Each structure stands twice: as structure tokens, then as C-alpha cells.
Structure 1
Amino acid sequence: MQTLLSLLALGTVTVGAGTAGHRRLKLSRAKHTSMAGHPRWSRRIAAQIPGFAYDEQAFFGCDGAPDEVIARRRAGLDRLATLYAERFPKGRALTAEAAPGISDLQFTGAYRVPFPFAQMVRGKLGVGGFAERSEGVQVWDVDGNAFYDLTGSYGVNLLGTDAYKGMIADAVEQVGDLGPFLGALHPIVADNVARLKALTGLDEVSFHMSGTEAVMQAVRLARYHTGRSHLVRFCGAYHGWWGDVQPGIGNPVPADGTYTLSEMSERTLGILETKRNIACVLINPLQALHPNGGAPSDNQLVDGGRRAGGTEREAYAEWLRELAAVCRRRGIVLILDDVFTGFRLAKGGAAEYFGIAPDMITYGKTLGGGLPIGALVGKAALMRRYNPDRPLDICFARGTFNSHPYVMAAMNGFLRHIEGPEGAKLYDGLDICWNMRAARMTAALAAAGVPVRVAHLSSIWTVLYDVPSRFNWMLQYYLRAEGLLLSWVGTGRIIFSLNYTDADFDEVVARFVRACQAMQADGWWWHDAKATNKTLRRAVMREALAKRLGR
């Protein structure tokens, strides 16, 4: 891969000598060297990777395991398959019935594990996609099975589901007289705006229906007011699924107005100092957990090379401060995408946590009090959607459901909660609490002798593996068997709600350790003594190439 990128850089130099070629080379060198840092190449290469599925023999022995280990793996998978069939019959049947009409279920079902293994796993370990109730830190599926919730509802569930159920019920009571009347604003909106302005120190607010929409509006306004064409995002960062901020795999349209640059890089700061067409820079503070790496997911886990953690909070904060200083000097709008991390790291969000002052902040997820929301808070000069001197020069943005009365009332309940005495308790010693819990989990895993540890950013965790195994992704199925519920991305992202007590957490640790021990006993972490993560990745590429060549 490095050789390929070096050749690309050489080609860039050859194409344009002199100043233009130098500028192009400088931009290329500011990109991360991974494929995620080169979205066009990642799309081209991804389009050439053929689909294929292992048969039963290859499934168990693709890493060259001896017969004794293959037998243990086969017996372990059969035991899990029997348990799943007995424990989840209604959920699996309902999912099978509904999936042909729900594209999301089709997608998540196909991409829980690396694709060569998916066909066998779906047949043996199909999981249900439906739940019936929640209480405390647990959720119950349609078969009546209770799980400790490690999904965090993709970031929404900060306070615990009981708190949001109360906020939604109160919202219906508060604004019920107006109902779903749209267009005019319920008076509660004014209170929300005042609270958000006080929290952020910014001037104006606009409401949207999702975090993706809020980011879209922030970028649009930045381009409108600066008159510049390009946005900068950082390698691996997620800002929603729209085209300009997802320029690589998953987006069928080229994002020609986007630069994907390397985070925590002096070369990137150099580009920002010299380029004249950059309207804004997007920061997703979750990247502090894995700079320049994409959101970890088990469907990409073909080896043990997942990386996260290792970046000190102060080092990342210093990078953000340097970035902000460059943006101020160059008139570039700094947008903090706090959709995922907002209110989870601190009451004042990532701006408070890392000590920076962005020009705009986007929110979503938990801010809605359990209902769908997106919000943009920014400086007055950037939030205006029209030019008072040119009446037809406008930056249009509207949404039928923006400022929906029930959403606004649930949001008001959330904001009042975090600003009250319960909120003060919530954030008191937050980092200390989750640092200690992560240490306890890692210590328990080490004591059990399993090759697993965790990395975290407060209550957002990812699971790391210390062996070069083709089967690390299997852990998600052992965890489910122990009553631990993960999202469809598996062990790549664990999100705890903050209502976990020490007793709740200790139970999660005990179950997590049992799942790892069972997986180890079934032989999934066997590996050849000469195997490395690099050799495993090369083996996968050889298999794909052979399939591509029809062998």
C-alpha cells in the first residue's frame, strides 16, 4: 500500500512541475497514507474486490488451524447455534419475515462480520432485530431475554432509557394543547435557545431533524459566508452520510469540494495556512479515541490490528488549539461536530472538554430527550441566511419538522436535567469513574488470560485484540450468549449509559470475561506462531485476487 501511494505521489510531481506541481504534492502529502486518506482510490479499489463465501471447510480452517482446533471450533459454533435457536426463535422469525421489506435490516445482517464468513454466520447465528421494553440498564427482546445494553442507542442513551421515557411523557403533557401543529413555534423553543446559547457562548440556534442535517447546514452557511468552495474533514472521521463528508466507500458521487487530510499533522496545518479555497474545517472529537482511523467495526476485523486509544487528552487538545488558531488567522470556519459526543464528555460538550472555542457546534442524539433532533449553534455573522444588501442572495434551509413541539419539549426536559442538581452529580468525577472502570475491565481480562483489552474515551469504548486472528469478530456472538447486547458493528463500539451503577458494571465485566473464556476454549484464538496481522491481511488479499482472476 505504501508503495502504491509513493508511486501516486511521484506521478503527481511528474504531472506538474513548478509551483502548481509543488502545491499538488504538498496537498497529497497532507493526506493520510491509508486508503481512508485517499477516498477516490479507496472507492476504485473497493469496486474491484469480488464477493465470495467460505464453504464449511474453509470457514473453520482458513488460517491453517490443525484438525483438533477445527473440531473445537466446529463444536463451539454448533453449541452457539443450538443456543441461539432455542433462546431467540421469535426474534429471528420476525426479523426473517420483516427483512425483505426493510433495507436497513438487510444491510446490518450482511455486514456484521467480514463478508467471506457472513453466509455461514447468518445461517447459524442469525440475530433478531427487535426489542420490546427497557428498564434501568437492560433491554428485553421479543423472546423475553434480558440483556445489559452496551449499544447506547448509537449515542442517544446518555442518561438511561427511564430518564428519556419520562422526558417524552412530560413533553406530551406540556405541549399537548398545541399538538403537532407546525410552522409557528411553541414558547418552549425560546427557552431552549436561551439555554443552548448559555451553554455554548454562541449567538444563534437553528433546529433540524438529525445530526446529519445540522452538519449540512453548518457547511452550507460556511461556504455562503466565506465565498469559498471546499471543506476539510479528517481521515476516518464521520459527519453523517451525505456526500460531501463521506467521499469514499459508500458514496456513489465524487465529493470534489472536499479535502480529506491527516489529523494531528503539521502538514495539514500548512495546507490550511496556504490554501485560499477552504471554507470550513470539520472536527469530530470522537477521533481522539482513534485519530485518522475509521469507526471500528467487526465487519472489517480480518486480523487483530484494530487500534484505538494511546492519544493523551492533552495532546489532542493541543492539536485542536493549534488548528483553531490557524482557522482564525485564515478566516476558516471551525465547526465542532458534537452530534455524538455532545453532553457525553462534559456539560459544555467537547468544546469544554478539550478547551476550544469553535465558530459553530452541531448537536444531535441525546439533546432531543429521546426524540429525533439536530441543532446548529453558531456566531451570528455565520448563522444569517441572507444578505441584507442583496435581497436575492440567500442561503436557503428549511424542514417541515424542524422545531416540532414534542421534540422541543423533550429537549427542554433534557436541558433542564443536565443543568440541575442531577446534572451536576452526573458530571462530577466523570472521567475518573470511567477510567477506573476501563482499568477494572482490562485487569479482569488479563487475569482470565484472554487476549482482549479495551480502549476508551470516557463512556465510549472499543475492544482491542492481542492476537493475529481471523476470528476476533466471533466475540460479539459469545457476548450475546452471555446477555450483553451490542450494536450491529459488534465489539468495535461499546457505549455505556451513565446510569450504570458499580454493581451493574461488575456484572457486565463478569459476563464479558465468561464470553472471552468460552471463545478461547472453542479455539477461535488459535494462531500460527509465525502469523502476524500483516500476513493475515495479505492472505485475505490473495484470496480476493484469486477470486477476481477466476481461480
Structure 2
Amino acid sequence: MTEHLFLYLVLGVVGIWCLRRVFIRLQLSVAKHPSLRGHAKMSRRFAKLVPYFSYNKHTFFASDMAPNRVASQRAKALVELTNSIEMKYGKTMDYTRSLTECISDVRFTNNYRVPFPYREQLPLALKATPVADESSGTKIKDIDGNWRHDLFASYGVNVFGYDFYKACMREGSQLVEKLGPVLGPYHPLIKDNVERLKEISGLDEVSFHMSGTEAVMQAVRLARYHTGKTHLVRFCGAYHGWWDGVQPGIGNQRKTNDVYTLADLSEKTIRVLSTRNDIACVLINPMQAFHPNSDSPSDATLIVSDRQTNFDKAVYTKWLQKIRNICSERGIVLIFDEVFTGFRLSYQGAQGYFGVKADLVTYGKTLGGGYPIGAVCGLSHLMKRYRDNAPADLSFARGTFNSHPAVIGAMNVFLKRIAEDDIQCIYRNAESVWNKRVQSLNTQLEQENLPLKLSNMHSIISVLYKKPSRYNWMFQFYLRAEGLEPGWIGTGRFIMSLDYSDDDFAEVSEKLIAAAHKMDAAGWWWHDGQTTNKQLKRMFLNDMLSAKFPKLAGLVGNKANPEEDINDQAVSL
């Protein structure tokens, strides 16, 4: 009897343990965002199933079931736009041709400026990679001599204007020119840089790296080293550099099993953090506040008009405070990836902007004063790379070019300059200035009856489209033709430097509105008054299924006037 009772007791304990494990695993599953972005393994499998297909010269202009007259109108407009751009960018086009076969980045960006079914029919003039030889203030000049307002800020490097950074590089070079490229010994300026970064970050120690991606890699490695735990938590849609250890979904070819991708702004995520014992760190890109649980918007995926942003500063501040509290309770390292937001959202980056402290903070881009840089700031006990009682147990991280004198010099000028009163004044007013500017431009767009709306988080802007359409991605080319320069992701994200004056922005607004009118007149925003975004998505899905299963092509698919000649001009494209 006693033996039976003992067996029942053991079985009961094992059963309870198993049920608890199952419950915790279920909590993890339900804490994931329901989209493919929230399921890394599933998204990778799905990506391999997506077939390549290309619209021909006819369906390119009528993939939304537009009537023949509208398709002809679009074809004619594309020829006119192409001719106009070719006249302006002849040297740039020649450079693009010469670079395409020898620089992989050029092939990648040129192919992913638009949704892939449209790329083959897109003229080279529209896909051409910008080649610039001069900058001034808010503008850059290409090798054809065209000056355009910069709408991508060198992917975030340019927070205060190109003249600002050229001065940092020039003055910094003079500070270190006697030492030159001596690596190993530190230039004395490094001490001042470290003290300033400690003050800005509110943390104890600093390590330097050569890129933001490297800084994130080091921060994650240190968190695992000091906690002895295996997994990190990232939020759905967040970007933390190209390292596969923080990007487990599409684009990562390695099986990553030590990353949990959880839903942003979800109490279910809090429950996971409260119950699991294998979480070393929570990695946060504060830019996700602009579009929680969504990827950074890009024209390459703009197949309909359902792009959204949902920035609510008060809501996201409360969310970050919850994350801070649970991390403190559970001994989880909280990492802010401020490679993009650092020195932009405020003098103290997202920590200052949201009023939430992190244990480790990564910086990059603008901190180098115009040069490549990465940095980690952290609490002393987390920055240590060895154990006193186990000298062979290391967390090794080095880099030949870390703390390069030229970078240290430009960084020193940058850090001193942003502490001055004029830059501090810009910081204090930046949020209200950009909110007012975007609001004013939206009012103009509404008055002009254009199907656009701009959304912003601080000085980051995204273009939203109000009318169902499959051709919104064309807008980036009309912007460029009007003298504006978006990044290769197009209208998904305009990164505005804080030195834009009201007059500069008024000129940008004028050019944006002119581009929108030309886009509208060309018929790209034609709509039958009935078709919804959901129906447009279904058209795209049908086209994809027809490409994957050709025998079904007669049963599903988009029959956008395939037998009719759209326009002889279109054939020449």
C-alpha cells in the first residue's frame, strides 16, 4: 500500500511538472503575434514557397483590372517619366550599369525598390542607384549635377545636416592627425568620449565597435554570459541589424532556436517574461513604437494601400515601463537598441524620450560624427568580459578597427557640439516642430484632394495611402523626378534631418504635392469605386497561385486584359 502511495505521489508530481511545462509552452505560443512576422520558422518556410512571377508588358499596367484606356494612360505616363529621368540622370544610369555586375548591394536594392512582379518591366532609369559627389545642408548632388532634398538622412546617420558632419570629420581629423591610423594604443580623446557617453546614457562603462550590428551582437553576448541563460526576446517586426542571432525570420538561413519573437504591447508577453527561466535579455528597438508588430514599411511590399502606423507615445511609454519592471523582478537584462534612435529622439535618445532606463544600450550611425561606429554602454557588472574566479571563462570580443583615431576624433567633436545650447534647443523643440509640419502638409494634401496622408514619430515620416491601389510604389519615382531623394525603401520611411528649416520643408511639401498630382494624372491611382484592399490582395494571391500551379491559371488569376495591346509605347519599355 505504501509503495502504491509513493508511486502515485511520484506520478502526480511528474504529471504536475509536465502540465506546468505544457502550460508555460502554451503561454509562449499565445504570446506570439498571429501574423507570419510573429512566427519566425513558419515565415521562413512560407518564403521558400513564394514563386517568382513577372507581369508582362500588358498586365504591368492593368494588374488591378483597370480598363484599357487607363492602362494606356499609365503606359504613356511611364514613357514620359522615363524619358524625363533619362535626360536628367544619364551619367547615373551609366554608373548603375557598370556597378550592377560587381556590387551585390546594387543588384539587391535595384530589384527590391518595387514589388517583385513589376521589376522586369520597370525601366532602368527608375531603378538606377543614386551616385552622389556633393552634399550641402538638406540636399545632395548627384554626378549629373542634380540637387535633391534628402529624405533618407543616410539611413539615420544625418541627424543634424551634412555640413554639421563634414565639420565633425574635418575638425576631428585635425585633432588626431599626428597619431594617424595607429591601432592598439588609444588616442587620449577616448577618455572624454567615454565620460560624455556615460553621462548621456546614464550607465557605467563603454565599449566601442565598428557598426551598430556589432554593438548589438556584443550586448546580447554579454547578457547571456552574465545571466547564464540561453534565450533573448525580441518584438515582432523589430530590426536589430543583419546578424541572424537577432533576425530569426525571413532573410536568415540558419536555424535560430534561441530567440523568442513575441508580440509588442501584449499582456501575454508580460506573462511569458514572468514565468520562463531561460530568458537572458529583452532586446528593444524603440522605433517599433511607430509601427508595433509590423516590419519597417517598404515600397517593395506595397501591393495594396493597407500600410499603417500606430504611434502613441503615452501608450508605448507605459509598455516600456512594464517591461522595465518585469525585467528588474526577473533578473532579465533590458537592452535598448538605440543604433537608430540614439541622439535623434532626444539628447539621451529613447531613454530620455520615453523616460525608461535600460541595463545595456547600443549606439551607432550618427555617434561617429560621420564615420562608421558602434558602441555599447552598460552597467559595470554586465560589461565585464571575464570572471575573477574562473580566468579561462571569457566573453571575448575585440575588433582591429575599434577605437580608430579618426573615428574617436570625429566622435569627440560630435559629442561636444550636441551639448551646446543651439543643439539642445533643437532637441527641446524637435517633436513639436515635426508634428506641426506633418499636420500642415496633411492639411494641404486634404485640400488638394490627394489620396495621401503622412504619419510621423518625431522626425521619422511614413506615407500612408487612402485609396485602394496596387501602384502606390510608383510614387517614389515621381518624388525623385521632382527633386526629392527617398531611400531605397521608398515612401515607407522618410528620415528627416533636424536641420530642416521651415522654408526647406515648405519646398519639400510643394514638390511632394506636385509629384502626387502628376502621379494622379497618370492614372496610377485609378479606382473603380468598389474594389477593396482585400480584393486587391486576393488578385495578387491568385496571380501567385497561377505562377505556382500553371494548370490552374485558367481558373484563378488576374485577367487584366491579357490579349489587348495596351499601347505601342509600353512595348518599348
Q: Above 0.5 in TM-score?
A: yes
**Residues 299 and 489 in structure 1, CA contact (< 8 A), matched pair in contact too:** yes
User: What do residues 423-478 of structure 1 show as CA deviations (whole Å, max 9, x unaligned)?
Assistant: 22221211110100110111111111111011111111111001110000000000
Percent identity between the aligned chains?
49
Query: Any residues of structure 2 matched to 1:86-165 within 5 Å, and which?
Result: 86-123=87-124, 125-165=126-166
Tell me the residue number matched to 1:404: 404
Equivalent residue for 1:492? Answer: 492
Letter in 2 for 1:262: A
The answer as to whether partners of 2:193 and 2:411 remain within 8 angstroms in 1 is: yes
Mapped to 2, the partners of 1:194 and 1:387 lie a distance apart of 25
CA distance in 2, matches of 1:338, 1:176: 30
Q: CA separation of 1:522/1:17 partners in 2, compared to 1, >3 Å: closer, same or farther?
A: farther
Partner of 1:328: 328
Distance 2:337 2:57 in 1: 44
Aligned equivalents of 2:249 and 2:129: distance in 1?
A: 30
Q: Aligned partners of 2:329 and 2:529: how far apart in 1?
A: 53
Tell me, in whole angstroms, the C-alpha distance in 2 between the residues paired with 1:412 and 1:89.
40
Distance (Å, rounded) in 2 between the aligned partners of 1:22 and 1:128? 52
Q: Distance in 2 between matches of 1:338 and 1:311?
A: 18
Query: How far apart are residue 311 of structure 1 and its match?
Result: 2.9
TM-score by length of 1: 0.96
Residue in structure 2 matched with residue 6 of structure 1 by the alignment: none
2:526 is paired with a residue whose SS is: coil
5+ residue gaps, structure 2, are 1-16, 552-573
Structure-2 separation of matches of 1:385 and 1:538: 53
Provide the C-alpha distance between the structure 2 equivalents of 1:71 and 1:350, rounded to a whole number of angstroms: 49
Q: Does 1:415 align with 2:393?
A: no
Which secondary structure state, in structure 2, belongs to the residue aligned with residue 121 of structure 1? Answer: coil
Q: Any conservation in 1 of the 2:24–2:276 contact (CA below 8 Å)?
A: no
Which residue number in structure 2 is paired with residue 211 of structure 1?
212
1:69 aligns to what? Answer: 70
Does 2:348 align with 1:343? Answer: no
Q: Distance in 1 between matches of 2:198 and 2:549?
A: 59
Correspondence for 1:229: 230
CA distance in 2, matches of 1:122, 1:322: 50
Can you give the 5+ residue segments of structure 1 that lack an aligned partner in the other structure? 1-15
Quote the offset at 1:21 in angstroms.
2.8
Q: Residues of 1 paired with 2:252 and 2:355: CA distance? A: 33
Is the Cα contact below 8 Å between 2:303 and 2:471 reproduced in 1? yes
Match of 1:8 in 2: none
CA distance in 2, matches of 1:127, 1:104: 12
Task: Tell me how far apart the structure 2 counterparts of residues 407 and 125 of structure 1 sit (CA, whole Å).
Answer: 35
Residues 64 and 528 in structure 1, CA contact (< 8 A), matched pair in contact too: no
Contact 1:109 1:122 (C-alpha < 8 Å) held by counterparts:
no
Do the aligned residues in 2 keep the contact of 1:341 with 1:349 (CA within 8 Å)?
A: yes
Note the alpha carbon deviations across 1:271-318, whole angstroms, 9 max, x for none. Answer: 00000000000111101100000010000000001111x332011000
- What is the deviation of 1:17? 7.9
Shift of 1:482: 0.2
TM-score normalised by L of structure 2: 0.92
Supply the RMSD in Å over aligned alpha carbons.
1.1
Residue 361 of structure 1: aligned partner? 361
Amino acid at match of 1:24: R
- d(CA) in 1 for partners of 2:529, 2:242: 41
Deviation at 1:24, TM superposition (A): 2.0
Verify the 8 A CA contact 1:90 1:142 in the aligned structure 2.
yes
Matches for 1:303-322 after TM superposition, within 5 Å:
303-308=304-309, 310-322=310-322
User: Are 1:47 and 2:48 matched, yes or no?
Assistant: yes
- What amino acid maps onto 1:475 in structure 2? F
How far apart, CA to CA, are the structure 2 residues paired with 1:423 and 1:129? 30
Name the counterpart of 1:4. none
Mean CA deviation greater in 210-219 or 21-30: 21-30
Paired with 2:413 and 2:151, the residues of 1 have a C-alpha distance of: 24
Q: Deviations over 1:206-255 (max 9, x none)?
A: 00000000000000000000000000000000000001111111010021
Between the aligned partners of 1:366 and 1:531, the Cα distance in structure 2 is 44
**Is the 1:479–1:515 contact (alpha carbons within 8 Å) kept by the matching residues of 2?**
yes
Task: Quote the offset at 1:124 in angstroms.
Answer: 5.5
Which secondary structure state, in structure 1, belongs to the residue aligned with residue 294 of structure 2?
coil
Is the CA contact 2:238–2:285 (under 8 Å) kept in the aligned structure 1? yes
Quote how far apart the aligned CAs of 1:20 are. Answer: 3.1
| Aligned position for 2:436 | 436
User: Which residue in 1 is equivalent to 2:380?
Assistant: 380
Q: Could you give the per-residue CA deviations for residues 61-114 of structure 1, whole angstroms, max 9, x where no partner exists?
A: 111111221121111111101111111010011111111000000000000000
8 Å Cα contact 2:106/2:129 also seen in 1: no
Aligned residue pairs total: 535
State the alpha-carbon separation in 2 of the partners of residues 125 and 339 from structure 1.
Answer: 30
